[in-house]
């Protein structure tokens, strides 16, 4: 949180001017070609709200009209197609304001893509969703990514990245600290993640020296997963890192080295 993710998303969709640096999208300069860039983009902001009493299908029809789809018959066919894709066809007559949080996010994806966007920018889409809706939303993004659409997703939820992303960038204090594949990031943490069974007293000492990523109570004390540069404990067992381990190691240890 506070790393600059939402600010970057707003810059990419031309809602915020960059203070420095350059942004080039499909050969167009963000500062000079804002109109052309907007034609390519679909955007789902973090706080997606409806200031309307339109029905779900009416809202999507309105979004389609704004995107330039003028033929009413073609537009309504497109509306039904996208309502089906995001699982909202059965609630098409419901007021958009009365949809659940997860349904609103799905409608947000539909409005972002109904104009045949080449690039969709999605800002922290699963924050606040229950696990079932989060999985459904990630599946929708995965399906869309197979349709020659670039998806730029910002999130601080590791599960979102490991489930749908082929490449990632770590952002901290407004700067990119890593840019590559999830597999490349995980590889950097190899040899730096351990599992330890420990007592309560030892556990408090470990928390001061290492990054603790998992704690499970046992009959004898705690089963703990630790991330660090070097752990010299007799009962420490090295384990394979996952993306969460890699993120913690990279941000807390790798760059310092």
pLDDT digit string (tens) for 70-80? 999 999 999 99
Q: Assess whether pLDDT exceeds 80 at residue 57.
A: yes
Q: Assess whether pLDDT exceeds 80 at residue 132.
A: yes
Q: Which CATH class is domain 5-165?
A: alpha beta
**Mean pLDDT on 135-141:** 84
**Mean pLDDT on 205-212:** 88
Measure Cα distances from 27 to 23, 39, 127, 147, 165 in Å.
Answer: 10, 13, 32, 21, 24
Cβ count near 38 (within 10 Å):
13
Burial class, 223, CB count within 10 angstroms (exposed 0-12 / middle 13-18 / buried 19+)? middle
The residues near 214 (Cβ < 8 Å, ≥ 6 apart) are: 223, 224, 225
The whole-number pLDDT of residue 242 equals: 94
| More reliable by pLDDT, 243 or 203 | 243
The whole-number pLDDT of residue 221 equals: 85
The whole-number pLDDT of residue 193 equals: 96
Measure Cα distances from 76 to 60, 69, 97 in Å.
Answer: 9, 10, 20
Per-domain boundaries in the chain? 5-165, 186-254
**Mean pLDDT on 180-190:** 94
Do 215 and 154 contact (CB within 8 A), yes or no? no
Do 219 and 198 contact (CB within 8 A), yes or no? no
**Mean pLDDT, rounded, of the chain:** 88
What is the pTM assigned to this prediction?
0.80
Bridge partner residues of 197 (DSSP) = 223
Q: Rounded distance, CA 138 to CA 4, Å?
A: 22
Q: Which of 160-174, 176-190, 242-256 has the highest mean pLDDT?
A: 176-190
257 pLDDT band, cuts 50/70/90, is very low
């Amino acid at each position: 949180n506070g790393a600059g993710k939402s600010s970057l998303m707003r810059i990419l969709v031309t809602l915020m001017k960059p203070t420095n640096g350059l942004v080039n999208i499909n050969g167009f300069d963000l500062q000079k070609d804002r109109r052309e860039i907007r034609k390519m983009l679909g955007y789902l902001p973090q706080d997606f709200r409806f200031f309307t009493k339109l029905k779900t299908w009416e809202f999507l029809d309105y979004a389609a009209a704004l995107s330039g789809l003028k033929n009413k018959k073609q537009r309504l066919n497109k509306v039904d197609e996208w309502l089906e894709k995001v699982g909202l066809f059965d609630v098409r007559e419901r007021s958009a304001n009365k949809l659940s949080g997860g349904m609103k996010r799905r409608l947000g994806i539909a409005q972002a893509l109904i104009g045949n966007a080449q690039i969709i920018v999605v800002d922290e889409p699963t924050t606040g969703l229950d696990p079932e809706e989060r999985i459904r939303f990630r599946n929708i993004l995965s399906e869309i990514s197979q349709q020659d659409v670039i998806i730029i997703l910002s999130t601080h939820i590791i599960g979102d990245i490991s489930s749908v992303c082929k490449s990632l960038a770590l952002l901290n204090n407004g700067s990119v600290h890593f840019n590559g594949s999830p597999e490349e990031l995980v590889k950097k943490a190899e040899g730096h993640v351990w599992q330890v069974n420990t007592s309560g007293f030892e556990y408090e000492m470990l928390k001061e020296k290492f990054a603790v990523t998992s704690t499970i109570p046992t009959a004898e004390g705690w089963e703990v997963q630790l991330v660090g540069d070097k752990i010299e404990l007799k009962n420490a067992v090295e384990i394979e890192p996952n993306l969460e381990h890699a993120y913690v190691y990279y941000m807390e240890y790798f760059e310092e080295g």
